[in-house]
Structure 1
Amino acid sequence: MLNESLFPILEFDSNKHAKINPSSVVNKKQVPKACVITFFKEVIRKKLERGELEQIGTSPSETIDIPIYETKYNGCSVGLVGGFVGAAGSAALLEELIASGFEKFIVCGGAGVLKKGIQVGHLVLPYSAVRDEGVSYHYIEPSREIECNPDAVKVIERILNKEKIPFIKAKTWTTDAIFRETEDKIAKRVSEGCVTVEMEAAAFFAVSKFRNVLLGQILYCGDDLSGIEWDSRSWHSRDLIRSNLVDLCLKIATEL
């Protein structure tokens, strides 16, 4: 048995009242119930240029201010926000969005591929994340994995099937250390059933569970880590795929 006193990350405290609470720094306002968080900044930029977005708030930090937008999908109002890369920043952003009044979330962004034969742009629906990051341990008691909300997974699965969009339902590996994805670690995660690696899912799942809000995620398969050498596969330049995925997530958000 591990001695928890030796590892601060294992000292979970279930008290929901911290010294600084999200409501202390964010005022609740009139916002749509559902929000899409995307890591595809070029999609947000183009929607802004086309006049499809109205800024309704800002998530500030010392290094970057993230605009919070409202848009319409089939006549329904939906929030649209650019993601903060990494688990800790994502957790803080989600906390602020919840404190602002959003109640349901769909997240879409890219992920590295751990298995051969998965094309760029293929979608993965993560139902669970291996917790190889830090922030989730401050929200949920220690465990190897954390599940995505099953209700959110069902809605996403139903719509993907209805739209006849191929996808893989699988585990993902959330890590803080993008430059420490070694061959042995990748092999271990693959043996656990992970198909992708990214930096945020476990944090999103933990915060949403702790705050009792609905959140699901879709991962866009990007660079390939399954071979001897890393292959970027120019995944950042697949503009149409990324734009279509954001629109798909807006649709899903209206049906959560």
Structure 2
Amino acid sequence: MILKEFDKNKSAVINAFDIVKSIDGFPKIAVSCFSRVTFDRLVCELKGVKIASTCTANMEIPIYKVIYQGLEVALFMSYVGAAGCVAVMEDIFAMGVQKIIAFGTCGVLDLSIEDCSIIIPNRAIRDEGTSFHYAPPSDEIAVNVKYTDLFVNILEKNQLKYTVGKVWTTDGIYRETREKVNLRKSQECICVDMECSAVAALSQFRDKDIFHFFYAADNLDSEEWDARSLSNEANPLEKDRIATIAMELALVIGDK
């Protein structure tokens, strides 16, 4: 089986550092989100200055530097989908970042999880292809092995609701059938996303800290799919608040 062909050699034919060079004085911590609207608002509010860029095959991904309460932070928008997301993060690490905080939406598999509430994944089912190039074959992978307690403290201090649990990471957004949803629920998944298991595998393989959390969006735990706040334009102020929480975590772990 192709997905069992894991190679632990950290050097490949093409590496991020072959294309992206280290940048002197680059921030050691980065915050990233998947929503263009939220990202643009965050860059604007914090008066971000463009310091670099990377790219995928069909788009430029600018990277900004902001100062948040005295801490230098790089901001970039993550690519949607496991393969592109991980490749961009590889580039960011090659530039000099040591830690990344990433946040974005997820679909909920538990109707009781409220719209826009925080979800902290602790394990991920690997139903995508990228993670198998970064970690030996397995059904699941540990997520957020560091910093969860620190993040929970921030959430509780700000009186934000949160849930900790397992995520189902899948490439096939239009193949989340009712049977698969029910199966993943039976395997204790509370939400579904497209990148988390791959990001966790990258973190382990490169020995870099990545903290990845979600805010609840569309609901798959009902007879009919409910988009809720999945749209980038929905609940912008609440999503701005979530972005601020990510910056608060950066402030706490930036020097750790």
Range with bigger deviation, 156-165 or 224-233 = 156-165
CA positional deviation for 1:22: 1.1
Amino acid at match of 1:157: V
Alignment match, 2:152: 157
CA positional deviation for 1:49: 4.1
Match of 2:249 among 236, 242, 252: 252
Q: Which runs of structure 2 are paired with 1:135-154 in the superposition (5 Å)?
A: 135-154=130-149
Matched, 1:22 2:22: no
Under a length normalisation based on structure 2, what TM-score does the superposition of the two structures give? 0.94
Alignment match, 2:98: 103
Alignment match, 1:238: 235
CA positional deviation for 1:144: 0.8
Match of 1:11 among 2, 5, 10: 5
Range with bigger deviation, 220-229 or 71-80 = 71-80
Relative to structure 1, the CA distance from residue 116 to residue 187 in structure 2 (aligned partners, 3 Å threshold; closer, same or farther) is same
For the residues of structure 2 that align with 1:246 and 1:48, how far apart are their CA atoms? 11
Aligned residues: 250
Matched, 1:90 2:71: no
Amino acid at match of 2:182: A
Range with bigger deviation, 122-131 or 67-76 = 67-76
CA positional deviation for 1:69: 1.0
For the residues of structure 2 that align with 1:234 and 1:217, how far apart are their CA atoms? 19
Alignment match, 2:40: 45
Decide whether the 8 Å contact of 2:144 with 2:212 is kept in 1.
Answer: no
- Cα deviation 1:126-164 (Å, max 9, x = unaligned): 011110000000000011111113222232223223333
Alignment match, 1:130: 125
Structure 1: runs of 5 or more not aligned: 1-6
CA positional deviation for 1:85: 0.2
Relative to structure 1, the CA distance from residue 160 to residue 210 in structure 2 (aligned partners, 3 Å threshold; closer, same or farther) is same
For the residues of structure 2 that align with 1:84 and 1:165, how far apart are their CA atoms? 27
Decide whether the 8 Å contact of 1:34 with 1:254 is kept in 2.
Answer: no
Alignment match, 1:209: 204
For the residues of structure 2 that align with 1:50 and 1:59, how far apart are their CA atoms? 23
Decide whether the 8 Å contact of 2:56 with 2:88 is kept in 1.
Answer: no
Decide whether the 8 Å contact of 1:147 with 1:205 is kept in 2.
Answer: yes
CA positional deviation for 1:66: 0.7
Decide whether the 8 Å contact of 1:152 with 1:214 is kept in 2.
Answer: no
For the residues of structure 2 that align with 1:244 and 1:52, how far apart are their CA atoms? 17
Relative to structure 1, the CA distance from residue 149 to residue 118 in structure 2 (aligned partners, 3 Å threshold; closer, same or farther) is closer
Range with bigger deviation, 119-128 or 228-237 = 228-237
Amino acid at match of 2:112: G
For the residues of structure 2 that align with 1:50 and 1:115, how far apart are their CA atoms? 34
Q: Percent identity over the alignment?
A: 34
- Cα deviation 1:40-84 (Å, max 9, x = unaligned): 211222244456111111111221111111112112111111110
For the residues of structure 2 that align with 1:51 and 1:103, how far apart are their CA atoms? 21
For the residues of structure 1 that align with 2:42 and 2:188, how far apart are their CA atoms? 36
Amino acid at match of 2:8: S
Alignment match, 1:58: 53
Structure 2: runs of 5 or more not aligned: none
For the residues of structure 2 that align with 1:78 and 1:54, how far apart are their CA atoms? 11
